[in-house]
Amino acid sequence: MSRTGYTGELGYELYCRPEQAVSLAEALLEAGKDEGLIPCGLGARDTLRLEAGMPLYGHEMTDDITPLEAGLSFFVKLDKPHFIGKEALIKKGAPKRMRVGLEMVDRGIAREHCPVYMDGVLIGETTSGTMAPYLGKAIAMALVDASKADPQAVYEVDVRGRMLKAKTTELPFYKRSK
């Protein structure tokens, strides 16, 4: 058992041998039945991680997106004597793109790879997006030109040929109370 998780909520991860997984899941569901415990899938987990503003490898983090562009600079200390990748980050220089949070103004959900425009100019693309039930609105994260990553910006997002307005918002979209 580990006091970790990928949803921004208080959670635990349980580890077991593969042959024990079904019986462990059944035992947990039975024990939590009176509390209303029900199973959920990766879609629910992904919605929670997006509300918490957590980047996902393959979306907000890739071999092509630096930790600085992904908004993870608090993990990267360029003044440390040495770490793997330090020289590559220094060689790249200041981030050319930045991860931003978007709240859809117009009705629609900007999923992954929707082009993002500012004043008619392509400045980036969405990396993840969903309808956030807790927040009651559609949200997305995008990687945009660093010079256009304005906390007061209103962008246009091309969602299946429809240009929808989205405003930047602070990450995380939702932060659980202590």
Residue 178 has pLDDT above 80, yes or no: no
Domains recognised in the chain with CATH numbers? 1-39 (no CATH), 49-169 (2.40.30.110)
pTM comes to 0.87
Q: Which secondary-structure segment (H or E) carries 162?
A: strand 162-169
Radius of gyration of the chain (CA): 19
What's the pLDDT at 125?
A: 98
User: Between β-strands 162-169 and 97-104, what pairing exists: parallel, antiparallel or unpaired?
Assistant: antiparallel
* Residues 157, 63: Cα–Cα separation, whole Å: 24
Nearest to 54 by CA among 139, 163, 171: 171
What's the pLDDT at 35?
A: 97
Q: Which two tokens stand for residue 91?
A: 């060689």
What's the pLDDT at 70?
A: 95
- Chain segment 143-158, per-residue pLDDT in tens: 999 999 999 999 999 9
Q: Which secondary-structure segment (H or E) carries 87?
A: helix 86-92
Q: Could you count the other beta carbons within 10 Å of the beta carbon of residue 1?
A: 8
Asked if 85 and 78 touch (Cβ cutoff 8 Å), the reply is no
| Banded pLDDT at 61 (limits 50, 70, 90) | very high
135 vs 177, more confident = 135
* For the chain, percent of residues with pLDDT exceeding 70: 99
